[in-house]
């Protein structure tokens, strides 16, 4: 096993969609299979920064864990757990709230987008979401964090917190400065209804996203109805500028076919969107259908899933507890 330590998290706020799968979970599986120590967390504390129905939160935590397993994460190779069972995260987050500066948090674009115009009424948790995320990562001294493009700014804040802590307490290198892993052709999958918006769980329209739980008919229907433009598919990448929907569909196809965007343009150049949509539906169904079936099967084994999270939480606590203890000593807290 190499010396990297990978950490990442997913909010249990609904079914995982194609963006979560291609931008995050598929990468988690590749890293796990590359013989790297990997810790993957269902970030339920992050989920409640926006109100969640308690029954739904519980159900979503089980469902997202089932999706992790169905996508290929294995308990033998990765630590899989839910954040709220490991209290080191919140304890370290408080210390980081006292390290991070208000000015840093004021620059976070995700808070601005999510709070919208009603900022005064947003939860305090939503505002300090990034310091909890820093604690999630640094509680394990993680060195690498696979995420989608939307998390880049939060990762930069994590790095700033680690550097300021090490500097303020004169403990160079105590917290490693984690590297983001934001690579490949699927770091930002866009909505099927609007190619300028990211595909997201919280978008009202179900037609905007492909869920991992969608059956073949829904996948085909959503792709057939995906927004496009009146032009034919071009032959060069430069001609995709200002055509976000075309770029998105071609990008998804390229990722699933494991080929470059140039090769994909060569394949579809000059044809209309019907051909692209038919072939995209086929390739999506062949990738997602086995996952969909496996999720359904696993959802009948709730006790097994709850047990995986319990065991994962024990392991996560075992790794993060001594790091928190050392942090407490550095800060000057009595034992």
Which residues here bind ligand AQP, judged by CB under 6 A?
A: 10-11, 13, 19-20, 23-24, 147-148, 150-151, 187-189, 198-202
- Minimum CB–partner distance for residue 46 and ligand AQP (Å): 7
CB neighbour class for 244 (10 Å; exposed up to 12, middle 13-18, buried from 19): middle
- Minimum CB–partner distance for residue 117 and ligand AQP (Å): 16
Nearest residue to ligand AQP, by Cβ distance, number only: 23
Catalytic residue among 198, 222, 227, 277: 198
- Minimum CB–partner distance for residue 230 and ligand AQP (Å): 25
Residue 19 or 312 having the CB closest to ligand AQP: 19
**DSSP secondary structure code for residue 195 in this structure:** T
Residue 130 or 148 having the CB closest to ligand AQP: 148
Q: Which two tokens stand for residue 244?
A: 């976000």
- Minimum CB–partner distance for residue 113 and ligand AQP (Å): 7
Indicate left, alpha or beta for 173 from its phi (over 0: left) and psi (-120 to 50: alpha): left
Other beta carbons within 10 Å of 292: 20
- What are the residues facing 324 on neighbouring strands? none
Catalytic residue among 4, 114, 164, 237: 114
- What are the residues facing 124 on neighbouring strands? none
335 has catalytic annotation: no
112 has catalytic annotation: no
Distance separating alpha carbons of residues 295 and 309, to the nearest angstrom: 16
Distance separating alpha carbons of residues 223 and 228, to the nearest angstrom: 10
198 has catalytic annotation: yes
Contact of 233 with 270, CB cutoff 8 Å:
yes
- Cα 196 → chain centroid: 19
**DSSP secondary structure code for residue 190 in this structure:** B
Catalytic residue among 4, 152, 201, 237: 201
- Minimum CB–partner distance for residue 155 and ligand AQP (Å): 10
DSSP secondary structure string, 74-119? -TTTEEEEEGGG-THHHHHHHHHHTTS-HHHHHT-HHHHHHHTT-G
Residue 10 or 324 having the CB closest to ligand AQP: 10
Residue 158 or 327 having the CB closest to ligand AQP: 158
Residue 187 or 228 having the CB closest to ligand AQP: 187
Q: Which residues are tagged catalytic?
A: 114, 198, 201
């Amino acid at each position: 096993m190499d010396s990297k330590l990978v950490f990442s998290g997913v909010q249990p706020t609904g079914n995982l969609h194609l963006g979560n799968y291609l931008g995050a979970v598929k990468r988690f599986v590749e890293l796990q299979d590359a013989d790297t120590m990997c810790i993957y967390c269902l970030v339920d504390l992050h989920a409640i920064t926006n109100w969640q129905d308690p029954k739904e939160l519980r159900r979503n935590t089980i469902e997202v864990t089932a999706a992790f397993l169905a996508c290929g994460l294995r308990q033998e190779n990765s630590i899989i757990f839910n954040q709220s069972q490991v209290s080191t995260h919140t304890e370290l987050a408080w210390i980081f709230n006292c390290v991070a500066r208000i000015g840093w948090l004021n620059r976070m674009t995700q808070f601005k987008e999510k709070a919208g115009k009603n900022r005064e009424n947003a939860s305090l948790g939503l505002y300090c979401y990034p310091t909890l995320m820093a604690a999630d990562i640094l509680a394990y001294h993680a060195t690498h964090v696979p995420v989608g493009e939307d998390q880049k700014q939060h990762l930069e804040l994590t790095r700033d917190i680690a550097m300021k802590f090490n500097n303020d307490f004169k403990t160079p290198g105590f917290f490693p400065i984690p590297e983001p892993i934001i690579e490949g052709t699927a770091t930002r999958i866009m909505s099927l209804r609007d190619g300028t918006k990211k595909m997201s769980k919280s978008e009202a329209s179900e037609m905007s996203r492909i869920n991992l739980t969608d059956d073949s008919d829904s996948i085909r229907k959503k792709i057939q109805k995906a927004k496009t433009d009146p032009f034919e598919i071009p032959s060069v990448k430069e001609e995709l500028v200002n055509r976000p929907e075309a770029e998105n569909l071609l990008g998804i196809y390229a990722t699933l076919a494991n080929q470059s965007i140039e090769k994909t343009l060569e394949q579809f150049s000059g044809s209309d969107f019907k051909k692209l949509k038919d072939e995209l539906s086929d390739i999506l169904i062949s990738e997602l259908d086995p996952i969909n079936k496996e999720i359904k099967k696993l959802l009948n084994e709730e006790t097994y899933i709850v047990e995986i999270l319990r065991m994962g939480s024990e392991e996560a606590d075992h790794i993060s507890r001594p790091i928190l203890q050392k942090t407490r000593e550095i800060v000057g807290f009595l034992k």
